[in-house]
Amino acid sequence: MVAFLLYGLESGTVITQNGNAVAVQTRSETNPVAFEINGNLPQVKHFLPYGVTVQKTGECTFTTEITGKTDKGMSNIGTMSVDLSGLTSATVDAMGTPTMEGADMKCLKSDAPSFCDAMNKGDLKDGVWRFRIGVGWNDKKDASADQARVNQAVSYLKDSACKRP
């Protein structure tokens, strides 16, 4: 299982590799660990000051980019694309809300009906799903719960999207 923990990146970020994990550490004291991947080690393709791109070999390609910077360690918005090989045509965007109750990514139908329909029916034609994950916490005690939400949401997307033909 590949788990993505998305937090704000900043200039001066360092990428390190340790066994089956890749970690990105920032200079921020309030948000020291920015990005971590557990399970099968992907290949880190390139790094930008506010984003990282990671490719998982096999049936899917995962691309993660930080599109919003943390505000005093309180919140972050990241974007992740799931590239399904063999499919072609349009791109959709959606807000995702990870939940603790189950590995679920809730679609906001009013904001992105095409994304939700495609995800539910499995009929996305371009093979690229783009969505944003918002993570926020009030203090360090809440951080682990947010990490678990992101973990569950992305694991769900990997398991469901990557098994589609």
The string of pLDDT tens digits covering residues 3-32 is 333 333 333 334 343 333 334 433 333 332
Domain count for the chain, please give it.
1
**Could you list the residue range(s) of the whole structural domain that residue 95 is in?**
3-161
User: Confidence band (pLDDT; 50, 70, 90) for 131?
Assistant: very low
131 touches 77 (CB < 8 A): no
**First-to-last C-alpha distance (Å) of the chain:** 19
Characterize 58-94 residue by residue with b for buried, 16 or more Cβ atoms within 10 angstroms of its Cβ, and e for exposed.
eebbbbbbbeeebeebebbbbbbbbbbeeeeeeebeb
Model confidence pLDDT, tens digit, residues 151-160: 544 554 445 4
Model confidence pLDDT, tens digit, residues 85-114: 322 222 222 223 222 222 233 333 333 444
